[in-house]
């Protein structure tokens, strides 16, 4: 069923487990109420070199007026600059907005509070297990949240009438060597009874360090994590941790956004609380939820998928690297799109100015800038339910053409396409049953497609420059006709055609009458103007395949294939008629005229350069006879 109502989502790094969980909650809850979801995602903060400069192009993609409400997952943005730009844009909108953040700066916020659980886990050690010394292992790579959890750890100790000792708090990176240093630091004051770790990832590293050092967990050292990861659930002992209800966070964001849409007021912050998940690593007894062998198989499959994605990306990169034709690129892209697992639809949309070149290049190459309609989008590639759809242009009323939305409740993930600060357009994709399965592999895809589009754009620019250089080399700058280089380059082609099609060849010599008089009387600028007019007269009479050139001065050469003598004479009359028409309408004080001569060679199995040269000599002689008649007539 086509859903006319839409919710927009801004979120970064959608390939992450947290982001996918939140988005899945948003999609599912929105669908319950008849809303379709469009997700706009970026990669800000990653070390991607030139690719990071165009991330703000995400702001150009949405039609903001089409949304009933927007959810902004602001805490997923590593780049403060991009986060601020999105905030500033959203502040200008009139539709309701919910922020997923620890605290909302401008909009009502829905947040997940799991930092205080460090206090609950510390209290669990102190009360349930009667631990006399509990340490805290923080994370120097994520200082903001690590410091929050440390503060709650300290609070729990204070409530129990204790203070942390000099060797009870340590902060380290996600590195086994660094974690081993943490263990040694704690043990300077004796073996700690328990360690509250910043999260599951750090807890598992500490578990490994403790086991390598000969300690038993939890018998010698008990520990806890936070955030409830699959790895923590499938280790032995099973990790005591804290719940991480990210799916519920997404559904809560939608529920509160709908309350705003309906005109209800909300507090500035709505908090979802996490809960301790007590298992084995703290010393308690709990059953293993599943056999770790299944998780081992899952990990092996994930590693194999990652390896395949690396090789697939290399294959894709090498295939698209030298593409200079957009249609060829789309045909190659189709081969790779069909390999995306669970992908229901994949669309590549381009802005009308995606391949525009700079005004500087246009000026150099004597090209004019073509106005573009920035509200028009080109759906260049579309694959839906395994079927390749025809390309089309559409007005930017929505992310995709209206017909795509018919009989569809798909949620779309939208990824910007750009190179440096040049914005190309975007990719929009959906998954079967609206179940997000956006892998890290698609980052490599995005970069490969960006490189292909930039390569095509560079090819266009290079082509313009090469064509301009060829014009400079092969064309007369005054008339635009070929010069001697151009004539020599194309003469062989014309003669080969004449031979293959058994055509006669005709050489023309054209010389302007009275150029010296015009130069001496009116100046060389007027002489140049007269030469240009004669050049236009010749260009006007030339047909496709004819070769017309000005080597220098006021002499012009024309070589044709297929003209009879009668047609050759008509060609001269046409040139004369053009000049007569010009003179009758010109306000100049002088007349422009020329003398023409031609010579014909019958069809032949070969035309040598000497024959053609002789033909031009004969045409030149005929031209001078004509010029003499013109002089006699003027006397």
Residue 287 lies in a domain: no
Contact 440, 309 (CB under 8 A): yes
DSSP at 54: G
pLDDT of residue 282: 96
User: Region 94-110: what's the mean pLDDT?
Assistant: 88
Which residues make Cβ contacts (< 8 Å) with residue 572, sequence separation at least 6? Answer: 508, 596, 598
Is residue 33 a part of any domain in this protein?
Answer: no
Cβ 70 vs Cβ 7: under 8 Å: yes
- Confidence band, pLDDT 50/70/90 cuts, at residue 15: confident
Q: What single DSSP character describes residue 120?
A: H
Q: Quick check: is 192 in a domain?
A: yes
Cα→Cα distances 570→205, 258, 576, 584, Å: 93, 80, 10, 21
**What average pLDDT score do residues 570-580 get?**
95
pLDDT, the chain, mean: 89
What's the average model confidence in pLDDT over 36-40?
A: 96
Residue 1: per-residue pLDDT: 39
Give this prediction's pTM.
0.75
Contacts for 308 with CB less than 8 Å, ≥ 6 apart: none
Q: Residues 273-302: pLDDT tens digits?
A: 899 999 999 999 876 666 666 666 676 776
514: left (phi over 0), alpha (psi -120 to 50) or beta: left
Structural domains counted in the chain: 2
Predicted pLDDT of residue 328: 94
State the pLDDT at residue 164: 96
Lowest mean pLDDT among 435-439, 541-545, 607-611: 435-439
Residue 45 has pLDDT above 70, yes or no: no
Considering all CA atoms of the chain, what is the largest pairwise distance in Å, rounded to the nearest integer? 129
Question: Looking at residue 477, what is its pLDDT?
Answer: 87
Residue ending a domain, choose from 226, 256, 286: 226
Among the candidates 226, 251, 266, a domain finishes at 226
CATH of the domain at 511: 3.30.70.270
Query: Taking a C-beta distance cutoff of 8 angstroms, is the pair 347, 450 a contact?
Result: no
Distance separating alpha carbons of residues 33 and 468, to the nearest angstrom? 59
SS3 298: helix
Confidence of residue 533 (pLDDT cuts 50, 70, 90): very high
pLDDT of 360 higher than 90 = no
181, part of any domain: yes
Q: Looking at residues 459-484, what average pLDDT do you find?
A: 86
The rounded distance, in Å, linking the Cα atoms of 108 and 101 is 9
In a domain, 187, yes or no: yes
Tokens for 629, please give them: 């008649």
Is residue 591 scored above 60 in pLDDT? yes
Instruction: Say which residue, 469 or 412, is predicted with more confidence.
Output: 412
- Is residue 330 a contact partner of residue 348, using CB atoms and an 8 Å limit? yes
CB burial class (10 A; 0-12, 13-18, 19+) of residue 591?
A: middle
SS3 percent helix, strand, coil of the chain, rounded to 5, is 45, 20, 30
pLDDT of residue 289: 60
Neighbours of 488 (CB within 10 A): 13
Residue 50's pLDDT band (cuts 50, 70, 90): low
More confident residue, 298 or 589: 589
Query: Mean per-residue pLDDT for 143-153?
Result: 93
Owning domain of residue 165: 117-226
- Highest-confidence segment of 314-328, 365-379, 393-407, 544-558: 544-558
Please indicate whether residue 318 or residue 545 has the higher confidence score (pLDDT): 545
Nearest CA among 56, 86, 65 for reference residue 74 = 86
Report percent pLDDT > 70 for the chain. 92
Lowest mean pLDDT among 122-131, 281-290, 307-316, 370-379: 307-316
255, pLDDT greater than 70: yes
Q: What whole-number distance in Å separates Cα of residue 250 and Cα of residue 71?
A: 9
Read off the pLDDT of each residue in 40-68 and give the average, rounded to a whole number.
79
- In the chain, what percentage of residues exceed pLDDT 90? 67
In this predicted structure, what is the pLDDT of residue 108? 92
Average pLDDT over residues 548-563: 94
Q: Which of 504, 586, 493 is nearest to 537 (CA)?
A: 586
Stretch 411-419: mean pLDDT: 93
CB of 536 closer than 8 Å to CB of 595: no
Name the least confident of 170-179, 255-264, 291-300. 291-300
Q: Is residue 555 part of a domain?
A: yes
Would you say residue 362 lies in a domain?
Answer: no
211-236 per-residue burial string, b: 16 or more CB within 10 A, e: under 16: eeeebebbeebbbbbbbbbeebbbbe
Least trusted range by pLDDT, from 237-251, 257-271, 364-378: 364-378
- Considering only 213-227, 311-325, 386-400, 410-424, which range has the smallest mean pLDDT? 311-325
Q: How far apart are CA 160 and CA 122, in angstroms?
A: 10
Query: In the prediction, which pLDDT does 159 show?
Result: 96
Distance (Å, rounded) from C-alpha 412 to C-alpha 405? 11
pLDDT of residue 524: 94
Q: Residue 98's CB: how many other CB atoms inside 10 A? A: 30
Considering 194, 226, 258, which residue would you say is the last residue of a domain?
226
- Mean pLDDT value of segment 5-28: 93
CATH number, position 152: 3.40.50.2300
Judge whether residue 51 has pLDDT over 60. Answer: no
pLDDT score for 217: 96
Label residues 434-444 b or e (16+ Cβ within 10 Å = b). bebebbebbbb
Residue 632's pLDDT band, with cuts at 50, 70 and 90, is low
- Among the residue ranges 43-47, 69-73, 264-268, 603-607, the one predicted with the least confidence is 43-47
Give the mean model confidence (pLDDT) for residues 377-397: 93
Count of C-beta atoms within a 10 Å radius of residue 103: 11
Cα–Cα distance, 391 to 398 (Å, whole number)? 16
423, two tokens: 């914005």
At residue 469, the pLDDT reads 84
Residue 585 reports pLDDT greater than 60? yes
Q: Does any domain span residue 319?
A: no
The model's confidence at residue 156, banded by pLDDT at 50, 70 and 90, is very high
- pLDDT band of residue 2 (cuts 50, 70, 90) is very low
What pLDDT shows up at residue 365?
63
């Amino acid at each position: 069923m086509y859903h006319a109502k839409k919710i927009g989502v801004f979120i970064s790094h959608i390939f992450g487990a947290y982001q996918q969980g939140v988005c899945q909650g948003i999609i599912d809850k929105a669908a319950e109420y008849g809303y379709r979801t469009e997700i706009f995602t970026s990669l800000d903060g990653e070390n991607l070199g030139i690719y990071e400069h165009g991330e703000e192009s995400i702001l150009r993609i949405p039609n903001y007026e089409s949304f009933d409400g927007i959810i902004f997952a602001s805490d997923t943005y590593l780049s403060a600059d991009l986060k601020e730009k999105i905030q500033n844009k959203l502040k200008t909108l009139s539709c309701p907005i919910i922020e997923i953040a620890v605290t909302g700066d401008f909009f009502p916020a829905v947040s997940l509070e799991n930092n205080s659980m460090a206090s609950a886990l510390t209290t669990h050690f102190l009360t349930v297990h009667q631990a006399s010394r509990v340490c805290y292992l923080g994370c120097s790579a994520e200082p903001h949240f690590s410091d929050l959890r440390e503060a709650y750890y300290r609070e729990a100790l204070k409530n129990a009438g204790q203070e942390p000792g000099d060797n009870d708090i340590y902060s380290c990176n996600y590195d086994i060597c660094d974690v081993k240093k943490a263990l040694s630091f704690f043990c300077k004051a004796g073996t700690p009874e328990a360690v509250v770790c910043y999260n599951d990832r750090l807890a598992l590293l500490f578990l490994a360090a403790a086991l390598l050092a000969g300690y038993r967990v939890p018998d010698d050292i008990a520990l806890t994590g936070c955030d409830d990861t699959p790895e923590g659930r499938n280790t032995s002992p099973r990790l005591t941790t804290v719940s991480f209800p990210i799916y519920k966070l997404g559904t809560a964001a939608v529920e509160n956004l709908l309350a705003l849409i309906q005109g209800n007021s909300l507090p500035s912050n709505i908090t979802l609380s996490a809960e301790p998940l007590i298992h084995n690593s703290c010393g308690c007894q709990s059953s293993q939820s599943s056999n770790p062998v299944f998780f081992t198989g899952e990990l092996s499959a994930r590693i194999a998928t990652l390896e395949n994605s690396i090789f697939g990306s290399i294959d894709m990169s090498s295939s698209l690297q030298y593409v200079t034709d957009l249609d060829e690129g789309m045909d190659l892209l189709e081969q790779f799109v069909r390999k995306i697992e669970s992908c229901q639809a994949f669309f590549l949309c381009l802005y009308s100015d995606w391949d525009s070149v700079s005004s500087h290049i246009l000026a150099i190459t004597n090209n004019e800038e073509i106005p573009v309609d920035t509200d028009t989008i080109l759906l260049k590639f579309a694959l839906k339910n395994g079927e390749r759809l025809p390309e089309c242009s559409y007005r930017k009323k929505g992310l995709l053409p209206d017909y795509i939305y018919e009989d569809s409740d798909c949620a779309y993930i939208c990824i910007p396409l750009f190179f440096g600060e040049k914005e190309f357009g975007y990719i929009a994709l959906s998954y079967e049953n609206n179940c997000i399965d956006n892998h890290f592999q698609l980052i490599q895809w995005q970069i490969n497609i960006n490189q292909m589009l930039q390569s095509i754009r560079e090819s266009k620019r290079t082509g313009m420059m090469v064509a301009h250089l060829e014009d400079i080399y092969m064309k007369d700058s005054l008339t635009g006709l070929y010069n001697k280089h151009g004539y020599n380059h194309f003469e062989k082609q014309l003669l080969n055609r004449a031979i293959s099609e058994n055509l006669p060849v005709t050489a023309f010599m054209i010389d302007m009458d009275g150029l010296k008089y015009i130069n001496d009387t009116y100046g060389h600028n007027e002489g140049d103007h007269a030469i240009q007019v004669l050049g236009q007269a010749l260009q006007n009479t030339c047909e496709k395949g004819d070769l017309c050139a000005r080597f220098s001065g006021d002499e012009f050469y024309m070589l044709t294939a297929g003209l009879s003598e009668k047609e050759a004479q008509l060609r001269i009359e046409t040139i004369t008629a053009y000049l007569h028409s010009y003179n009758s309408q010109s306000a100049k004080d002088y007349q422009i005229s020329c003398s023409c001569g031609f010579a014909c060679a019958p069809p032949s199995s070969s035309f040598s350069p000497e024959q053609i040269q002789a033909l031009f000599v004969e045409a030149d002689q005929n031209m001078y006879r004509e010029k003499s008649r013109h002089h006699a007539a003027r006397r």
